[in-house]
């Protein structure tokens, strides 16, 4: 079985209000030296296949069609044996 | 400058309704062979320090105090030079 680990982040330059809120929160409880915080999603997909090529093509399609919004988000993924 | 890349996932065995909804969505648009989907957060923190030891200790504290809920979530992170 294969597992795809997909990371979806807002593109550079897109304002990330959730990250900003977490940065403010961390600063408010005493953490200094934080330059920025950005928050994205990590999506782990367990796939019933052994073929890495098939898995790779399939996960690309999943990202393009549903997991990421190409207007504001970019994605990357790796595929591991489990 | 250092960047911490923190991954926060629900612990194994904790039901992940968001992941289940995404799995249903993917299946509804034709993706088969999906055994499970689990969704977590990826938090990227840019830190104004060069000391990896300080950064490591600081990010552990951030996770324990704010970024992860230790009852239902586990976290891991790596620290990179940027």
A40 touches chain B (CB under 8 A): yes
- Separation of alpha carbons B53 and B23, rounded Å: 39
Number of domains within chain B: 1
B58 touches chain A (CB under 8 A): yes
Give the one of A1, A26, A43 whose C-beta lies nearest to B66's C-beta.
Answer: A26
Say whether A43 and B22 touch across the interface (CB within 8 A). Answer: yes
Grade residue A82 by pLDDT with cuts at 50, 70 and 90: confident
The residue of chain A with its CA nearest to that of B20 is: A45
CB B19 within 8 A of CB B36: yes
Domain at B40, CATH number: 3.30.1280.10
Give the domain range for residue B36: 2-81
Q: What pLDDT is recorded for position B12?
A: 94
Task: Please give the ipTM for the structure prediction.
Answer: 0.92
- Separation of alpha carbons B67 and B65, rounded Å: 7
Residues in chain B with CB shorter than 8 Å from the CB of A33 are: 47-49, 58
- Separation of alpha carbons B51 and B48, rounded Å: 9
Q: pLDDT tens for residues A23-73?
A: 999 999 999 999 999 999 999 999 999 999 999 999 999 999 999 999 999
Three-state DSSP string of A3-57: EEEEEEEECCCCCCHHHHHHHHHHHHCCCCCEEEEEEEEEEEEEECCCCHHHHHH
């Amino acid at each position: 079985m294969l597992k795809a680990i997909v990371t979806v982040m807002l593109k550079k330059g897109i304002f990330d209000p959730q990250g900003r809120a977490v940065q403010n929160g961390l600063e408010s409880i005493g953490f200094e030296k934080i330059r920025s915080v950005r928050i994205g999603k990590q999506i782990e997909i367990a796939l019933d296949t052994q073929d890495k090529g098939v898995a790779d093509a399939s996960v690309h399609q999943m990202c393009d069609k549903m997991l990421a919004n190409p207007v504001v988000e970019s994605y990357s993924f790796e595929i591991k044996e489990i």
